[in-house]
Amino acid sequence: MPKFSTRTLTTMALLTALEIVLSRFLSISAWNTKIGFAFVPVALAAMLLGPLYAGIVAALADFVGAILFPVGAYFPGFTLTAFLMGACYGLFLYKKQSFPRILGAVAVHQLLLSLLLNTLWISVLYGSPFYPLLLSRLPQCAILGAVQLAVIPLLVKLLPQLKGSVQ
């Protein structure tokens, strides 16, 4: 079982709060589409703390954000996807960051988790047909994938400075 030191918990709390603000207040949202920079705190948690911690940050941010600032009914499937997204980033980006690893993390996140799994949750939640919904979400995944491929390498360049302030 990993240790939850005071420093780790504080870092996780800060990144969770930042993710909530970016997701709930500083993103473009429609009922089936969301474009923003809420992935940044989760990617930072993944690079700084690892897969489990990043998954917890993402899941907790989704849950707390949904309870405090609801957009619709709370649905636990999105929290599961958030945890898997954080864990995915952690598996690919913890301790070693290269462009192929960043590409792998973004591809798994956008294609498997966002496009397929979140589309399934939206389909179940709203009773919408899966395939038309999937097609309508393709542009979101393409845009966010490109944004993530541009932003995460910038975060990697800032990582040594961030590690110094966290540790």
- CATH value at residue 156: 1.10.1760.20
d(CA 29, CA 137): 12
Query: 116, 137 in Cβ contact below 8 A?
Result: no
Residue 78 lies in a domain: yes
pLDDT at 105: 97
**Does some domain include residue 1?**
no
Query: Number of structural domains, the chain?
Result: 1
pLDDT for residue 107 is more than 90: yes
Each residue of 138-148: pLDDT tens digit?
998 999 999 99
pTM of the model: 0.91
Contact 109, 69 (CB under 8 A): no
Q: Are 57 and 98 in contact (CB under 8 A)?
A: no
Among 26-30, 31-35, 81-85, 139-143, the minimum mean pLDDT is found in 31-35
Residue 149 covered by a domain: yes
pLDDT band for position 1 (cuts 50, 70, 90): low
Tokens 């960043």 correspond to 102
Whether residue 68 is contained in a domain is answered as: yes
